[in-house]
Amino acid sequence: MQFLSLFLCFSLISFQVFAFDFQGRLASIQQLDKADQLAQFEQLLAQPSLSSQQRFQALNALTMHYFRQSELSNALKQGHITYQHTKQHQLAAPQAATEKLLGIIYYYQGDLNNALTYYQQALAYYEQSGNKVQQANVLNNIALAQSAQGHSQAALASYLKAEPLYLKHGSEYDAVDVRANIAGLYISLRRFDQAIAMLESAVTYYQKHGHDNDLARAQADLGVALKYAENFPDALAHLQASLSYYQQKEEGYNVAAALHNIAEVYLLMKLPIKAQAYAEQGVSRSRASDHNKALVGNLQVLAKSWYWRGDALQAQLYLREGLKLANELDYLSSLSSLLILNALIEAALEQPEKAIAAEQAYQALERNRFNTELNTMLAESEALQLQQKLEVVQQQKAYQAELSRNKTVEERYLFAAFTLLFLVMFLAYKKLRDFYLNKELALQVELQTEKLTRVNQQLLQVSLEDGLTGIQNRRSFDADIRKLWQKFTEQHQNFALVFIDIDHFKAFNDMFGHIAGDRVLQEAAQVFSQAMPNGAGVYRYGGEEFAVLIDGLDETICCHEGVRSIYKEIQSCLVGYSAPEQATITVSAGTCFADEQVESLNEFINMADKRLYQAKRAGRDQLVCQ
């Protein structure tokens, strides 16, 4: 017996020492350089003496290693290995923790349906085990995924379930965190003032208590809210602060998102070259970190930047990749804006049928999105009402069961009175809640309708304006010249068409670069607009070629006063342009009047175009009128 007691005592001490050594070794591995950690994890997992709980801890630590390195594909693969281990050995709490982690990884990969599936499995365990703080954490994650899917009502309901759990069972930090996430939901609902106020409060709290990672996340969200509120300087300040932190910590996933948001701000500020620089970095970081949503956003910014700079073919290359990825991943919000951009690019490439098809596809998608969101909100409302009815039925059953257990009439009447009072209060509460739910539903319908109207108006406005120079584009020219021609044929009101081409522009671009070329185009457009008389329309016809429509003027005024004053203004504006060698900018022009014995609009346009080329063949820097 003494020998057996000594053996058991020795075994217990040995187990405790091994457990201590395991925890110490696991901690020491996590302190190593990233490159050395994998080899040490493999050695640790190769030990057959590990218990099932210890093996779970090692597998989970390896999953977190991949996740922190933004290697989401490897993290997902390792997470499923860990998940199978917990199921095989019936480790209930570790299984729920792994389900929660898998949900987070799927969320970062953009697979929101799988994320919600694993979150719900984890939530079921935490509800059964009574772990209130973990319930709140998972509800918070569920709300983030629902918000990303566009299910704002469901997300709000999840947040409202999480907040009281945090307030009662968690810490002040937890409550601030969930409010910061609610602010993200307010951004999606376009309630920017409320979102900014909540996020500024969160930033102050995180700065005061030294929560640097949470501070970077809140600054990134605040930057997005300020971007939508069109406060671009403050938006850039917060986004740059979060980018610096993520770059320092080498968090590729968050770096990709921050680069995308900064690029979008510069695009909204009409600085396409800066936007392009950040978006190009964002594409590289998005690919490296498997951040598909940021990749779509950065590709969209690149497509817009090239379109605004007048290179529709280059814009189309990025657009097609973005459209393909958005379709594969079912990113409906990104897909809508990409389809609008596709319509504009096809129009710029003189493909009207494809442009119309893209616009129709956009409108069909928006209708489907609106109907889906509306049906989802209605389904959520009906599910909530059904749940309320079930709760009432359960209360009635409980009331009947309690009555049957009461022996005296007095006890039955007293219990019935209290139960009836409770039911009345409960139904009143549910009715009030239904009222606010229906009010929110009506608000969502109104917001979606306003959004669709606003986007259509923006599409019409952008489709008639040249992104680089700010003057009217070819589509606007085609519409206006048809109107003037019809007026001429019906009322014999004469008008003139002038084609103007910047001489040797390709050589200028090759010598001084596209940025200098863009500036010349912008200044030329400004000079044309200022030099022309009232009633004249100036258009960018294509590349370095411009068109001018002058209504109601005679030939002498048009040729000698109008166009030649343009030469003088261009030369005076650009004579001081500094380059490696002095650059002189000249233009050639050809004009035609509607009353010059032309029989059709096409012949009229061709006549002006021929005279432009006569001016070029005659040595450039001149105007041909006849």
Q: Which residues pair with 495 in a beta bridge?
A: 551
Q: Which residues pair with 93 in a beta bridge?
A: none
Beta-carbon neighbour count of residue 36 at 10 Å? Answer: 11
299: CB partners within 8 A, 6+ apart: 279, 283, 318, 319, 321, 322, 325
Rounded CA gap, 81 and 75, in Å?
10
In terms of phi and psi (left: phi > 0; alpha: psi -120 to 50; beta: otherwise), the region of 210 is left
Q: Which residue from 509, 514, 497, 521 is spatially nearest to 574, judged by alpha carbons?
A: 521
Q: Hey, what are 615's tokens?
A: 């001016």
Q: Hey, what are 174's tokens?
A: 């937890």
Q: Hey, what are 56's tokens?
A: 């779970």
Give DSSP secondary structure letters for 97-108.
HHHHHHHHHHHH
Beta-carbon neighbour count of residue 558 at 10 Å? Answer: 24
| H/E stretch holding 495 | strand 495-502
Helices 2-30 & 34-45 angle (0-180, nearest 10): 160
Q: Which residue from 266, 327, 270, 263 is spatially nearest to 294, judged by alpha carbons?
A: 263
Q: CA–CA distance from 537 to each of 211, 316, 482 (Å)?
A: 57, 29, 13
Residue the block writes with tokens 């956003």: 297
Q: Which residue from 183, 274, 200, 267 is spatially nearest to 238, judged by alpha carbons?
A: 200
DSSP symbol at 558? I
Rounded CA gap, 35 and 59, in Å?
17
Cα-based torsion angle of the residue sequence 108, 112, 116, 117 in order, rounded to the nearest 10 degrees: -110
Do residues 221 and 180 lie in contact, with contact meaning Cβ atoms separated by under 8 Å? yes
Do residues 377 and 443 lie in contact, with contact meaning Cβ atoms separated by under 8 Å? no
Active site residues: 544
Rounded CA gap, 491 and 552, in Å?
12
Do residues 296 and 260 lie in contact, with contact meaning Cβ atoms separated by under 8 Å? no
Question: Measured at the alpha carbon of residue 198, what is the angle toward residues 376 and 452, in degrees to the nearest 5?
Answer: 40
DSSP symbol at 550? E
Q: What are the strands, taking DSSP E only, across 63-181?
A: none
Rounded CA gap, 294 and 284, in Å?
10
Rounded CA gap, 122 and 132, in Å?
12
Handedness of CA 111, 113, 116, 118 (dihedral sign): negative
Q: Which residue from 594, 590, 598 is spatially nearest to 624, judged by alpha carbons?
A: 590
